[in-house]
Structure 1
Amino acid sequence: MMNVVLITGAASGLGWELARACHARGDALVLTDINAAGLHERMAELGNEQIIGIAGDITDPQLHQQLIAACSERFGKLDVLINNAGITHRSPTIKTDPAVFRKVMAVDYHAPLELTLSALPLLRKAGGQIAAIGSMAGWMPVLGRAGYCAAKSALSQSFEVLRAEVARDGIGMLMVYPSFLDTPIDRNALGADGKPANHARSTIGNIRGADWMASQIIEALDKRQQRLFPDRGSWLASLLWRIAPAFYYRKMSARFAGEMA
């Protein structure tokens, strides 16, 4: 039977690669992105009748209701919700406009949690799955990313709690903890003033392609896996933060010195 998959942030990067992978295996798709023109182009590229695209701001509760209604009215169910949409910033905490922190938290934490809660009745009926794209930055401090680290930590903690609660209803939960990917989220990072950051990002570990990451996520969903740690280097760095925090701080401070400009 055909699965129905809802993907946020689907017009580019990891969201688009996930949409392509799901479409290739015959899933029906409900896609959303704040970039209306980009979403329209992606819809035309896929060219399948079993696809719905709804553009909008993922922090808007009305969009959540539209997405859930589309799943219910068009397909009668929802099998997989992939909370992919995200935003980041690259700016020293002490120089960052608080509005930037609020925006990052709204997109990366409040929106996926609220959309998931709205989707629970449909997911419950299908015995479906929830996937949330977290980050290793939610496990360890990274200079210049205070808002992003906080939002991804909140996402991880809340969804790990939610996991136990929805398991009673037969709903699976996949938390994905990637490190640095070659996607627009970093190319579109906010600076301290809320405008695009004007300096290059610093990284830890390998920079992976979004297509590679998408294939790992699809495989993990097929196995109803609970957690995915695709980058061993970043996973080891998170352990180093817990085992030897002073050493981690020295290494991280040297690697991310450019973030403090």
Structure 2
Amino acid sequence: MGRRVFQQKVVVITGGCAGIGRALALRFAQAGAHIAILDIQDEALVAFRQQLHDKLNADVMALHCDVSDDQQCAEAISQVVERFGGIDLLINNAGITHRSAFADTDIAVFQRIMAVNYFGAVNCTRHALPSLLARGGQVIGLSSLSAFAPLLNRGAYNASKHALHGLFETLRMEVRSQGVNVMLVTPGFTATDIRKNALVGDGSINQAATNLSFKVAAPADVADAIYLGACKRKRLLVLSNVDWLARQCARFFPRLFERWMLPRLSGVKSSPTN
């Protein structure tokens, strides 16, 4: 489906060098889109741009951009518009997480999580919006099942995803009459490095693996689903049975969710006591 929907369209992907972002760049390049990858990994940017050009003959921009820095976002979006003439799709994919209880988490960790996960999306969307409005484009926000069902030891991360929903659900209503679609995506557990590079309470990185009791999706499968959702201009894309189950269980059976599902989703051995 949608083989030509994004042909010659301009797609901007934040955090585009690894994980879901990398898979999305590959998928949209295969569909014939012009790609702009925003990331902070300079060597990876150069190598991935070359790979996309050599293997897919894709027209690609690779730009260093820390999405938490509003000025860098403004400059990157300006360069994309100057090079390609506009933006048809902005995918706010860049994100980080942490593993630490609220009481053990420095305020700097809360600020960093919000700066990347929430304000990163705010910054890029603000600067891309004029072009998106002019072209009847689309904004995608990568959220998480934690927006529906909180995970233990992820207070800052959970909050950032709740904030994304508040932001993009409001934006959707404000711009839909002008032909712009806003889609929120909640992937399930996916084989990326986000958990391996999680911050801990003091702001350092703990690369210890998290024990998960659920099937882990491949980034390419997630990217395929997002591509099809973008072709259909969906509003919400929930990508795993775990997400739907957690969403319904947390809403209608909160005690069952807290005692049985929450520890498994969070990768911990015991549930909180009430």
Please give the range of the TM-score, normalised by the shorter of the 2 chains.
over 0.9
Q: Match of 2:10, as an amino acid?
A: V
Q: Which runs of 5+ in 2 are unaligned?
A: 1-6
Q: Take 1:157 and 1:128, find their aligned partners in 2: how far apart are those partners?
A: 20
Q: Does 2:13 match 1:2? A: no
Q: For 1:212-261, what per-residue CA distance to the aligned partner results, in whole angstroms no more than 9, with x for missing partners?
A: 0000000010111111011012211111111111111111454343599x
Letter in 2 for 1:209: A
CA RMSD of aligned residues (A): 1.7
Q: Deviations over 1:71-105 (max 9, x none)?
A: 22111111000000000011111111111111011
Aligned to 2:217, the other structure's residue is in SS state strand
2:144 matched to 1:135?
yes
Q: Is the 8 A contact 1:31 1:53 kept in 2?
A: yes
Name the amino acid aligned to 1:36.
Answer: D
Counterpart for residue 181 of structure 1: 190
What residue is the counterpart of 1:56 in the other structure? 65
Q: Quote the residue 1:190 is aligned against.
A: 199
Equivalent position of 1:164 in the other structure: 173
Tell me how far apart the structure 2 counterparts of residues 259 and 189 of structure 1 sit (CA, whole Å): 21
1:34-85, CA deviations, whole angstroms, 9 ceiling, x for partnerless residues?
A: 1111111101111246211111211111221122212221111110000000
Deviates more, 1:228-237 or 1:77-86: 228-237
Q: 1:19 aligns with which of 22, 25, 30?
A: 25
Name the TM-score, length of structure 1 as normaliser: 0.95
Equivalent of 2:220 in 204, 211, 214: 211
TM-score by length of 2: 0.90
**How many positions carry a matched residue from both structures?**
260
Assess if the C-alpha contact under 8 Å between 1:35 and 1:55 holds in 2.
Answer: yes
Partner of 1:108: 117
Matches of 1:144 and 1:203 in 2, distance apart?
Answer: 14
* Equivalent residue letter for 2:15: G
Q: Which residue of 1 aligns with 2:131?
A: 122
2:99–2:201 CA contact under 8 A, matched in 1: yes
Residues 259, 144 of structure 1: CA spacing in aligned structure 2 closer, same or farther, 3 A cutoff?
Answer: farther
Range with bigger deviation, 245-254 or 82-91 = 245-254
8 Å Cα contact 2:13/2:37 also seen in 1:
yes
Correspondence 1:90 to 2:95: no
Decide whether aligned partners of structure 1 residues 37 and 258 sit closer, same or farther in structure 2, where only a CA change above 3 A counts. Answer: farther
2:208 corresponding residue in structure 1: 199
Q: Is the 8 Å Cα contact of residues 204 and 234 (structure 1) preserved in structure 2?
A: no
AA aligned opposite 1:169:
Q
Gap change, CA 1:146 and 1:31, over 3 Å in 2: same
SS at match of 2:220: helix
Percent identity between matched residues is 35
Q: Secondary structure at the match of 1:155?
A: helix
Asked whether 1:257 is paired with 2:233, we answer: no
Range that drifts further, 107-116 or 246-255: 246-255
The one-letter code of the counterpart of 1:257 is: V
User: CA distance change for structure 1 residues 200 and 122 in 2, over 3 Å: closer, same or farther?
Assistant: same
Residues 165, 253 of structure 1: alpha-carbon distance in 2 compared, 3 angstrom cutoff:
closer
1:183 is paired with a residue whose SS is: coil
